[in-house]
Structure 1
Amino acid sequence: MTFCADASRDQAESLAGTAATARTWLLLEQPGPWGAKALTQSRLDPALGRFLESAPESGVRAALIRRPGRDARLGGARRVLLAHTPPGRAWVRTALIDDPEELRALDLAALAAGDHGGFGEPHPGGPVALVCTNGRRDRCCAMLGRPLAAELAAAGHDVWETTHIGGHRFSPTLLTLPHGYAWGRMSAATARHVLAELGEGRTVVDGCRGRSCWPRPAQAAELAVRRYGADPHADALEVVDVVDTAGDDTVGTAGEPRPGRWRVTVARLDGRQHWEATVAEKATLPASPASCGAAALPQSRMEVLAVRPLLPASAD
């Protein structure tokens, strides 16, 4: 059997623009085993799981978390993390709840817009690290993710195992909060470096898949601007415009979708500088599986064709 992470690594598949998209994350502590569709295939009430599965319709992405190790305790209070990720407006809130059903009272649309409604308390300390470890969903996540989570925990980082943050073939994968940056193919040393830099307010481009609050083309564009030499501060840049330049003719004569193309404007958060990036969707070849056991298919990738600085807007 070919492991998806090996196939992706062997062909040096690009990581940029592959992060799961979510402006707000809702994370519920759920010890014990997780199924492939963990929200409805765990010891969590399936009806509540279906409610959480619908959260993306409001702009919120939900996942289950647990501390590294095999602690299968049930009962008692559960930790909940809420995180909003756009630059300049990012936050993490945390609370202990006695009954997961309390989550039904959350206003998901408000959370997606960045209004936590006073839920919980501000999360103290440095970045929160989430490592995908759900082996029922993908073998690579278990084989590669669990050791990484354990090493980060042993090093004293605030780390949780999580059910799914997208991109099995980039295992081990790491998502950090509050910024929502995702990384792939992490070693323990590289992950520790990423977390140390984030603790100082800086992000790391190498191995980064993108910031989850942006769509995929914008993720790739922002990383390309950072490579261009922009400020390394994690909240230095924002995406201010994404224009689909493929037009309406996005379907070929055979009925197959044509690759996309975008013009993305990235700016410093203070507005002092803008960049324009041209991004094209291409296929990664040779074909490879998106996850273990899946058919080998061409995988979509975001390629930044050009980055150019724009003249700063003139002051009135």
Structure 2
Amino acid sequence: MSPADAAGPFFCSDAARVRGDPIAGTAPYGGVWVLVEYRGGWPPNGFDGLDFEPGVKARVYRAARAARARVLLVRRHGRRASSGPVPRWAVLRYDGSGAYRQQWGTWNSDADLAGIVDALGAPGEVGHPPVLLVCAHGQHDPCCAIRGRPVARALSERWPDLVWECAHVGGDRFAANVVVAPDGVYYGGLDGRSSVAAIEAHLAGRIHAEHLRGYTDLFPAQQAAVAAVLGHVGPAGRHDYAVTETSRDGDRWRIRVAGCPPRAPSFDVEVRAYRSPSTRLTCRGAARSSAVVHEVTSILPG
């Protein structure tokens, strides 16, 4: 037995917690999500690995790339049977207003997925509630299932109509990951109890810094700056603070985060970017690599 075998299996989320990997500034950039409900097994590469009709699949991918949209397989927690309500698809779009712009449809055949293409070219409807996406993609990374499914269960018990398990959203080592869409807010490092507390606060307009990976309309240094402000002043709504100025000098950033009325204070945040020591960042990737860390070095009233 090798030393690695004697030590037991490697779990990237456990290792990240032991290392204390910073979580702020790690949300992928983007403001459009395509959801495709699929109740069968999910291949490691998600939608791309499914045997959909090639022409329809290509059209969806072209439209998604043009809109810079992320395509995610989704399913309700605990529902694996192929029978039941007609599967759904959705296009969720962030527009900066908090209006939750969405377009929903159903599909019985591959051809029905072409409706996604038209929806990607439309502004979307308002009046829908937010969507809570919990990464539980075990075929992509075991930690996503081990940590994600208990979170999906806890959130589904509280908000059954809002919660979907989803395929890979990025940042396996920060599992369990939850995305509030189309708000574009990433949370990580969650468990059942902390996920309910974080989402309850989010839906009440109080985003906490503790589990915040970032806002997806911001770049990593900006995400870290906003998280630092929330940690400094306390929880606030999604649009209570905005990045108004950003400048960079080498590996250092200066970012102004301004409070929106009635929150008047502004802050100048300095952020340093650096690479972490090389290590294993995912369960399935044995190769060692480093990640870019965005460290807040100062935060001053603006």
Q: TM-score range by the shorter chain?
A: 0.7 to 0.9
Matches of 2:60 and 2:295 in 1, distance apart?
A: 33
Can you give the 5+ residue segments of structure 2 that lack an aligned partner in the other structure?
Answer: 1-8
Q: Deviations for 1:90-121, whole angstroms, at most 9, x for unmatched residues?
A: 4142422331111122345xxxxxxx43x456
Can you give the 5+ residue segments of structure 1 that lack an aligned partner in the other structure?
Answer: 109-115, 247-259, 311-316
Task: Classify the secondary structure of the residue corresponding to 2:291.
Answer: strand
1:279 alignment partner AA: V
Task: Classify the secondary structure of the residue corresponding to 1:93.
Answer: strand
Task: Classify the secondary structure of the residue corresponding to 2:144.
Answer: helix
Matches of 2:95 and 2:204 in 1, distance apart?
A: 18
Matched, 1:188 2:192: yes
Matched, 1:103 2:116: yes
Q: 1:49 to 1:214 in 2, by over 3 A?
A: farther
Task: Classify the secondary structure of the residue corresponding to 1:130.
Answer: strand
Matches of 2:247 and 2:83 in 1, distance apart?
A: 48
Q: 1:56 to 1:265 in 2, by over 3 A?
A: farther
Q: Which residue of 1 aligns with 2:76?
A: 67
Q: Which residue of 2 aligns with 1:265?
A: 256
Q: Deviations for 1:166-211, whole angstroms, at most 9, x for unmatched residues?
A: 1001111111124221111111111111111122121121111011
1:290 alignment partner AA: L
Matches of 2:29 and 2:50 in 1, distance apart?
A: 24
Q: Which residue of 2 aligns with 1:88?
A: 97
Matched, 1:292 2:280: no
Q: 1:72 to 1:43 in 2, by over 3 A?
A: farther
Q: Tell me the CA shift for residue 75 of structure 1.
A: 9.3
Matched, 1:276 2:268: yes
Task: Classify the secondary structure of the residue corresponding to 1:103.
Answer: helix
Task: Classify the secondary structure of the residue corresponding to 1:194.
Answer: helix
2:169 aligned to 158, 165, 168, which one?
165
Q: Tell me the CA shift for residue 84 of structure 1.
A: 3.0
Q: Tell me the CA shift for residue 73 of structure 1.
A: 1.8
Matches of 2:65 and 2:260 in 1, distance apart?
A: 27
Matches of 1:49 and 1:226 in 2, distance apart?
A: 41
Q: Which residue of 1 aligns with 2:140?
A: 137
Matches of 1:50 and 1:302 in 2, distance apart?
A: 36
Task: Classify the secondary structure of the residue corresponding to 2:22.
Answer: coil
Range moving further from structure 2, 204-213 or 272-281: 272-281
TM-score (norm 2): 0.85
Q: Which residue of 2 aligns with 1:111?
A: none
Q: Which residue of 1 aligns with 2:32?
A: 24
Q: In angstroms, what is the RMSD of aligned CA positions? A: 2.4
Matched, 1:202 2:206: yes
Q: Which residue of 1 aligns with 2:6?
A: none
Task: Classify the secondary structure of the residue corresponding to 1:65.
Answer: strand
Matches of 1:232 and 1:206 in 2, distance apart?
A: 13
Q: How many residues align?
A: 286
Q: 1:107 to 1:152 in 2, by over 3 A?
A: closer
1:3 aligned to 2, 8, 11, which one?
11
Range moving further from structure 2, 74-83 or 1-10: 74-83
